[in-house]
Structure 1
Amino acid sequence: MHHEQHLKSSDTIRDIVIGMSDGLTVPFALAAGLSGAVNSSGIVITAGIAEIVAGSIAMGLGGFLAGRTEADHYHSELKREYDEVERVPEQEKAEVKEVFADFGLSPALQDQIADEMAKDKDKWVDFMMRYELGLEKPEANRASQSAITIGISYIVGGIIPLSPYFFVSESQIALYYSCAITMVCLFVFGYFKSKVTGQPVFAGALKVLIIGAIAAAAAFIMAKLINGK
């Protein structure tokens, strides 16, 4: 039970990271690019909200499809394993023995374990799924949960760089506030992301910050070049 809770937690964190990463970066780059082309915050807000809606749907759909693919793959392999323990039980026993041979167990003990395991097909197949194929049973409604988590995380991330434009009418001035707020949020997000994933926190935070800054700067400069300003 503890393992399943841990797995669920790590999957949810992964979805939040996916949604927030793009949510902070893409609308920020879009807002920066538009700020280099137009001087109206209203236009930036309209385009930014449209992008956040489209982006959250696209990201959520991507998460849903990934979750469905994972579940379909698991059930396909599960069906195949049940078929194999029926058709070629000795071959499947040999695969069980190979797993325990890697643990250093004696051949006699390998034979005993394989024979005992073969008495319960459900446990036998579950063992093969976990230790031969490295597959864990997906949670129920995992695809829907993933879609919702990623979509909401994208929206939350996207609103942050867009928020100054609601209060400042000139887009280029609003961009300065957006940069300050978003840079801080990118650094904090990168810090916690690195902490959760076990990476060096300062280096991870700096990496996320730099990626976001480069994306926004590239969009701003390109818009300036295209408009000849």
Structure 2
Amino acid sequence: MASRLEHSHNPDDIASRLASGPRASYLRDWIYGGIDGAVTTFAIVAGSIGANLSAKVILILGMANLLADGFSMAVANYSGSKSENEDYARLRAIEEKHIALAPDGEREEVRQIFRAKGFQGDDLETIVRLVSSNKTTWIDTMMQAEYGMTAVAHTPLKAALFTFASFVLFGAIPLVPFLRAFPASAATATLLTALAFFMIGSLRARWSQRHWVSCGLETTVVGMLAASIAFVTGYGLQALLGS
């Protein structure tokens, strides 16, 4: 058991923490953007090296990819997050209508939900009565139990910005060797790409119970597998088209 608690259990501290409500996590958006940014930029680098393009051209292609593909991902994430929020609002409106038109049926749904959790007899009926006595709590319960959805929603703009920022930040790393035309730029780009994946994974450990090295290595292996596919594809197409 950990010797230090993650937060205070003083009544005032609890009230303050709960009053602020749960916060949406943008960890997935950050990791998704970072991995995709590193992989797609590395694919540009691999294909360009295979075509014997200059460092200047590789930089131009890489930067164009960072901005265009990063923006595309951000827009897609914005639209996806907004669609999820709209779907939540639609389903919540349905539950609100059902409670107004068929309250007994909705109470029976609550009854069966909590019966499945192990409650019986008077305890079960007390829960049904308490849940259905507050409309907001009633709808929240149905949203969670029926659809697996909670009121904690992503802000579409924040989700898009996290994705874009991570894409550009980590996607720029494979381009670093070409800024000064480093010798062995291909090998250096590969090493830096692996480092980018390790950084993403080790940062992810902040929200995991696993050690940061374990998280970093896992993400590196997965990311380099994707990067290897990009590398082989790039070289293979250049060899095929150049023959």
Give TM class, smaller chain: 0.7 to 0.9
CA distance in 1, matches of 2:207, 2:233: 30
Name the amino acid aligned to 1:215.
Answer: A
Q: State which of 183, 203, 224 in structure 1 corresponds to 2:239.
A: 224
CA contact (8 A) 1:24 1:160 kept: yes
- Using the TM superposition, give the Cα deviation of residue 115 of structure 1 relative to its aligned residue in structure 2, in angstroms: 2.4
Name the amino acid aligned to 1:145.
Answer: K
Name the amino acid aligned to 2:164.
Answer: G
Q: State which of 70, 77, 81 in structure 2 corresponds to 1:63.
A: 77
CA distance in 2, matches of 1:224, 1:25: 21
- Using the TM superposition, give the Cα deviation of residue 6 of structure 1 relative to its aligned residue in structure 2, in angstroms: 6.5
Give yes or no for the alignment of 1:97 onto 2:108. no
CA distance in 1, matches of 2:227, 2:200: 11
CA contact (8 A) 1:56 1:155 kept: yes
CA distance in 1, matches of 2:236, 2:99: 62
Hey, what does 2:187 align to over in structure 1? Answer: 176
Q: State which of 62, 86, 109 in structure 2 corresponds to 1:48.
A: 62
Hey, what does 1:142 align to over in structure 2? Answer: 155
CA contact (8 A) 1:190 1:209 kept: no
Query: In 2 relative to 1, CA 145–195 (structure 1 residues): closer, same or farther, beyond 3 Å?
Result: closer
Give yes or no for the alignment of 1:205 onto 2:220. yes
Hey, what does 1:163 align to over in structure 2? Answer: 176
- Using the TM superposition, give the Cα deviation of residue 50 of structure 1 relative to its aligned residue in structure 2, in angstroms: 0.8
Name the amino acid aligned to 1:98.
Answer: Q
- TM-score computed with the length of structure 1 as normaliser: 0.86
Give the helix-richer structure, 1 or 2: 1
- Using the TM superposition, give the Cα deviation of residue 197 of structure 1 relative to its aligned residue in structure 2, in angstroms: 5.6
Hey, what does 2:33 align to over in structure 1? Answer: 19
CA contact (8 A) 1:187 1:209 kept: no
CA distance in 2, matches of 1:29, 1:67: 27
- TM-score computed with the length of structure 2 as normaliser: 0.81
Name the amino acid aligned to 1:175.
Answer: A
Q: Is the partner of 1:105 in helix, strand or coil?
A: coil
CA contact (8 A) 2:50 2:239 kept: yes
Name the amino acid aligned to 1:34.
Answer: S
Name the amino acid aligned to 1:123.
Answer: T
Alignment map for 1:103-142 (pairs within 5 Å):
103-139=117-153, 142=155
Q: Gaps spanning 5+ residues in structure 2: where?
A: 1-16
Give yes or no for the alignment of 1:186 onto 2:201. no
Alignment map for 1:69-88 (pairs within 5 Å):
69-88=83-102
How many residues of Structure 1 are paired with residues of Structure 2 in the alignment? 223
Q: Gaps spanning 5+ residues in structure 1: where?
A: none
Hey, what does 2:13 align to over in structure 1? Answer: none
Q: Deviations over 1:21-45 (max 9, x none)?
A: 1000001111110111133111111
CA contact (8 A) 2:140 2:151 kept: no
- Using the TM superposition, give the Cα deviation of residue 192 of structure 1 relative to its aligned residue in structure 2, in angstroms: 4.5
Alignment root-mean-square deviation, CA? 2.5
